[in-house]
Amino acid sequence: MTHRMTYCAHCGVHYAYQASGHGCLHPLNDSKYCPNCMAVIKVALDKVPKKVEKRWIPSTEYTKDQLLKLMDESDAKLDWLHEERQKGSIIAMPRLRRIGIPLIDTKTGEYQKTRYGTVNDKLYHISWWDSKPDEYEILTEVYWDLINDKMLENY
């Protein structure tokens, strides 16, 4: 559990922001605004309908093998950046990787394989079981227009 003392961007009061642990997802816990200001902001924003959200949708752009190969190539480029950063020859962000929690077959003990990766500036998620390598699911993250109920292109 991590707490940080900070000042509210609106009223200037000194308050504790909880960055992790039980309670960090409380709707009034915010890194920029104190709970009192956040309550007022929340009431105001509750009147404004959401127009766009991120969603995961099925993708047929690539097969499992194609996507895994492209993810490996993308990872190799990021590994090179990470190595150069560690040498001090370039300034770059630390190597980060999104991970997914796999399902577990309690009868066999087999773990589902899952992988996230960015290919051509799109985030993909692929999951499969080793016992059924030809059965897999590929999802891509998109922005969804909630008013017209459709995917937004080039958003």
Closest CA to 82 of 71, 70, 92: 92
Tally of domains within the chain: 2
Q: What is the pLDDT of residues 40-76, one digit of tens each?
A: 999 999 999 999 999 999 999 999 999 999 998 887 7
CA distances (Å), origin 33, targets 18, 39, 131: 12, 9, 50
Together in a domain, 30 and 57: no
Together in a domain, 126 and 105: yes
Q: Give the C-alpha separation, 113 to 128, whole Å.
A: 5
Q: What is the pLDDT of residues 112-149, one digit of tens each?
A: 999 998 898 899 999 999 999 899 999 999 999 999 99
| Range(s) of the domain holding residue 42 | 2-46
Together in a domain, 22 and 69: no
Together in a domain, 102 and 29: no
Together in a domain, 39 and 64: no
Together in a domain, 86 and 120: yes
Q: What is the pLDDT of residues 8-40, one digit of tens each?
A: 999 999 999 999 989 899 999 999 999 999 999
Together in a domain, 76 and 127: yes
DSSP lists the bridge partners of residue 151 as 144
Q: What are phi and psi of 136, to 5 degrees?
A: -145, 165
Together in a domain, 80 and 133: yes
Q: Give the C-alpha separation, 151 to 145, whole Å.
A: 6
Q: Give the C-alpha separation, 11 to 148, whole Å.
A: 38
pTM above 0.85, yes or no: no
Angle (CA) 106-110-115 rounded to 5° is 120
Together in a domain, 146 and 90: yes
